[in-house]
Amino acid sequence: YFIGQSTILGIVRQILTEQVGVEDVSGIMDFLISIDFAKDNFFLRNIGIIALLISSTAIFISLQYSVNFFYDIERIYDSKRKQFYSNLLSRVLSFGFLAFFGAVIIVTYFTQLILISFGHQLLGETSYLSAVSLEVLRHVIGVLSKVLIFSFVLKFLHDGIVSWRLAWVGGF
């Protein structure tokens, strides 16, 4: 790796002592030294994937709580079990949102690239009208992709019921 394990361990020791305030870091450092980060570690890879999934969906969960608070929506659960399953479902939907938004962004940029490439070939590079029309088209595609994303957020993110008509108006 670029920096080296000893440098990283020194940085971790410094953060734990100076910023976190842990006085005796020997146990943590011994554990970190015993792990061989150079080889593929099944346990650490899966812990990293789980941490990534939980942290990446946290922004949508936080946004859901904020929107619910703003509109004074309060979910009442019959039991802790239903609350757990509701939270788990929210995490899964948030991960689905991330995948959907990523796909929308990728499709948007590829569509812009294809349309601009074909536009230059069809209209030519010399026409001022073609340059303006391609730039307007590029902005329209960007705005429409954001309208799509915000409409889905307004439709599905909170715990209330919103019609598609209101979600599209709010997204625009």
What's the confidence (pLDDT) of residue 125?
61
Q: What pLDDT does 123 receive?
A: 65
Exposure on the CB side of residue 158, measured as CA atoms within 13 A: 19
Q: Is the pTM of this model over 0.85?
A: no
pLDDT band at 128; cut points 50, 70, 90: confident
Mean pLDDT across the stretch 142-158? 84
Confidence tier at 157 by pLDDT (50, 70, 90): confident
**How high is the mean pLDDT of the chain?**
81
> Which of 2-11, 39-48, 92-101, 119-128 has the highest average model confidence (pLDDT)?
92-101
CA distance 155 to 127: 42
Residue 38: per-residue pLDDT: 67
Q: Is the pLDDT of residue 170 over 70?
A: yes
Per-residue model confidence (pLDDT) at position 11: 86
